[in-house]
Amino acid sequence: CAFAEFALPPELRERHAAGMKRFQTTGETRIQGRRIELTGMRRDGSRFPLELVVGRVGESQPAIFAGYIRDITERHAAEALLKSERETYRNLVNSVDGVVWELDVASMRFTFVSPQAERLFGYPVSRWMDEPDFWASHIHLEDRDRSVAYCQERTQALADHSFEYRFLTADDRVVWVRDLVTVVAKDGQAEKLQGVMVDVTPLKMAEGVLRGANEELEIRVASRTKALSDANRSLQDEIKKREALE
């Protein structure tokens, strides 16, 4: 057929001709009602993607089929761009040294949790996604009520927020987390939360060491101040005694 000679590359023409012959003989087509992609060839020899759709018209005998072919170059370009953007986003998320997450407020379920969650906390991502109370139930008991209440209050106020709490890992460690939360609203209601959980345990440990050092320094200063005050008082008493003797 003229279409095969003009629009299809040479390597596809034989298969197309066989399909057309079968259709003309039996009325059967393997692509009935389907969308299939082909490679077309322009007059200048350049290749481009085509979409072919064939369907039967009515129930008449012999069977009548109708179809169309369209150039889908722009769709392929858009799909390639979308794929590239998704890959860029995935690489960006995976480069963050923390857990990137998204949560649906209505169901209180995570809709996205980055792979770093398993590296930092030891739990598979599926548990975060499947268990509605997973996050709250793994916050350290001493921090749980405060953290949940604060997050709920800020969410209802449509206010972005950050807070720190201790999180229990799969191997029974305690990790200090700083959670940076963005509230996404629709029609004046919180629709979803997006955020990043960052492990700040080393910072907390450093703060503890610094706090201990400051406390020790304060004790030493107080002790030396008292010793100096006592020595000064003793000296003043000695001076008074000498003056009395004179």
Q: Are 124 and 118 in contact (CB under 8 A)?
A: yes
Per-residue confidence (pLDDT) for residue 175, from 0 to 100:
92
**Amino acid at residue number 214:** N
């322009």: which residue's tokens? 42
- The pLDDT value recorded for residue 178 is 93
Q: So what's the pLDDT on residue 168? A: 96
Question: What pLDDT score does 14 carry?
Answer: 76
User: 33 vs 145, which has greater pLDDT?
Assistant: 145
Q: What is the mean pLDDT of residues 71-94?
A: 71
pLDDT at 174: 94
The structure tokens listed for 1 are 């057929």
pLDDT for residue 243 is more than 60: yes
Inter-CA distances, 60 with 2, 8, 168, Å: 27, 30, 69
CB neighbours of residue 18 within 10 Å: 10
Distance, in Å, from the CA atom of 7 to the CA atom of 147, rounded to the nearest integer, reads 65
CB < 8 Å & 24+ apart, contacts of 180-185:
181/151, 181/154, 181/155, 183/154, 183/155, 183/158, 183/159, 185/158
Q: What was the pLDDT predicted at 177?
A: 94
pLDDT in tens, 184-241: 999 999 999 999 999 998 777 656 555 665 666 567 666 767 766 766 777 676 666 7
Report pLDDT for 2. 42
How large is the average pLDDT for residues 143-158?
96
pLDDT at position 33 is 47
Collect all residues with Cβ–Cβ distance below 8 Å to 4 and sequence separation of at least 6.
13, 16, 17, 20
Neighbours of 199 (CB within 10 A): 19
**What's the pLDDT at 215?**
63
Determine the Cα–Cα distance for residues 85 and 73; give it in Å rounded to an integer.
Answer: 18
Residue 188 near residue 178, CB atoms below 8 Å? no
Q: 69 has which bridge partners?
A: 52
Q: Does residue 113 come out as left (phi exceeding 0), alpha (psi in the -120 to 50 range) or beta?
A: beta
Per-residue pLDDT at 58 exceeds 50: yes
* Average confidence (pLDDT) over 4-12: 61
**pLDDT score, position 4:** 44
Q: Determine how many CB atoms are found less than 10 A away from the CB of residue 135.
A: 20
CA–CA distance, 231 with 235 (Å, rounded to integer): 6
User: What does the mean pLDDT of the chain come to?
Assistant: 78
